[in-house]
């Protein structure tokens, strides 16, 4: 199933290149034999990790940049506007990297796909490291771009960066819960919304489901994220992604926000956006084949995002 989807996307890209006069895959040693496409080349693990680094960095660049603009410049961004920008940032990141790495861009998704959908276990840790590194570096880039505005904001509002009051600006980089929400309540929110996200990802990628798939799937995933952010974002900041939260949080801590990791809580808050999304994604990854895919007219689960899961030998023979 995964190979079939990958093949269709590859064919679409090649046809597009040919229509625009681009000689994709030409064998320069034997031009007389015409154009040849390299359909057998597979991305290396290094290439996939680079894609995960760039993709996760892109979604942080757009999302954290949007929040920085809202807080530091007074840009008129409400909850819905911020959520939409986050969602479209994720969609752009998926479009840029899906053909190489499958565009996990989220350790929770990687772990869930590894546990329940056959993703290569040997790739899981390198993917996660690349995702966290991409998020960290992108947060550092946003800080570098907005550095004068951070300084001016702290002076204007009489904020000392290492103080608890500086969480107002630390929140530009990562998520913190609504003050009325308990530690357990925040965990439950993140668990729930990540489970919903994982269900949506699997449903939108299932070739046996009736949902729109293929080139439109990344956009729909972005819309799902925007809807979750607009409806439940005020509770926890809708992290749903350990790399999205921990990478920028770690950067903020190293850049002088002393309470960035703990959130000034007795139990360090950074634990919640790590463990809750992982648990939620695993629950969603387990639930989809049991509760939905098992009852589709054609049983099975396919994926239109190439390389997201590793094809089995049986799949490869079926689609040869």
Does residue 190 register a pLDDT over 60? yes
Q: How far apart are CA 59 and CA 49, in angstroms?
A: 16
Q: What is the DSSP letter of 255?
A: T
- Decide if 198 contacts 276 (C-beta within 8 A): no
Poorest-pLDDT segment among 25-29, 43-47, 301-305: 25-29
For the record, the structure tokens of 79 come out as: 């909850």
Name the one residue in this structure whose structure tokens are 């590793």: 310
Element holding 205 (H helix, E strand): helix 183-205
Name the one residue in this structure whose structure tokens are 């030409």: 26
Name the residue among 237, 183, 211 with its Cα closest to residue 292. 211
23 part of a folded domain = no
CATH of the domain at 286: 1.20.1080.10
Percent of the chain with pLDDT strictly greater than 90: 71
Q: How far apart are CA 320 and CA 313, in angstroms?
A: 11
Poorest-pLDDT segment among 117-131, 175-189, 289-303: 289-303
Q: What is the pLDDT of residues 1-19, one digit of tens each?
A: 443 443 333 343 444 333 3
Q: How far apart are CA 98 and CA 51, in angstroms?
A: 8
Element holding 199 (H helix, E strand): helix 183-205
Does residue 262 register a pLDDT over 90? yes
pLDDT of 55: 98
Number of structural domains in the chain: 1
Q: What is the pLDDT of residues 35-85, one digit of tens each?
A: 444 557 788 999 999 999 999 999 999 999 999 999 999 888 889 999 999
2 part of a folded domain = no
Q: Give the helix, strand, coil percentages of the chain, each rounded to 5.
A: 70, 0, 30
Q: What is the pTM of this model?
A: 0.82
How high does pLDDT run on average in the chain? 85
19 part of a folded domain = no
Mean pLDDT of 90-119: 96
Q: How far apart are the first and last CA of the chain?
A: 11
78 part of a folded domain = yes
**Which structural domain, as residue segments, surrounds residue 61?**
47-318
pLDDT of 180: 95
85 part of a folded domain = yes
Percent of the chain with pLDDT strictly greater than 70: 80
12 part of a folded domain = no
């Amino acid at each position: 199933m995964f190979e079939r989807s990958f093949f269709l996307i590859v064919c679409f890209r090649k046809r597009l290149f040919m229509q625009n006069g681009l000689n994709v895959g030409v064998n320069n040693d034997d031009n007389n034999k015409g154009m040849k496409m390299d359909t057998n080349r597979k991305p290396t693990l290094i290439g996939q990790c680079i894609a995960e680094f760039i993709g996760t960095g892109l979604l942080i660049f757009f999302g954290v940049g949007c929040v920085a603009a809202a807080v530091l410049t007074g840009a008129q961004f409400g909850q819905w506007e911020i959520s939409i920008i986050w969602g479209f940032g994720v969609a752009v990141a998926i479009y840029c990297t899906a053909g190489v790495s499958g565009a996990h861009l989220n350790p929770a998704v990687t772990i869930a796909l590894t546990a329940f959908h056959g993703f290569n276990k040997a790739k899981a840790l390198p993917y996660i490291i690349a995702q966290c590194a991409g998020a960290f570096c992108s947060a550092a880039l946003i800080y570098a771009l907005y550095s004068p505005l951070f300084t001016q904001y702290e002076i204007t509002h009489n904020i000392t960066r290492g103080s608890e009051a500086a969480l107002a600006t630390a929140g530009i980089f990562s998520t913190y819960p609504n003050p009325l929400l308990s530690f357990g309540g925040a965990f439950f929110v993140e668990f729930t919304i990540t489970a919903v996200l994982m269900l949506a990802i699997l449903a939108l990628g299932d070739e046996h489901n009736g949902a729109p798939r293929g080139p439109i799937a990344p956009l729909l995933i972005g819309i799902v994220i925007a809807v979750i952010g607009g409806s439940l974002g005020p509770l926890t900041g809708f992290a749903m992604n350990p790399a999205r939260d921990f990478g920028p949080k770690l950067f903020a801590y190293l850049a002088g926000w002393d309470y960035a990791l703990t959130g000034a809580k007795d139990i360090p808050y950074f634990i919640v956006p790590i463990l809750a999304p992982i648990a939620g994604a695993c629950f969603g990854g387990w639930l989809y084949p049991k509760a939905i895919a098992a009852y589709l007219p054609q049983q099975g689960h396919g994926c239109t995002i190439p390389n997201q899961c590793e094809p089995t030998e049986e799949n490869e023979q079926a689609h040869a």
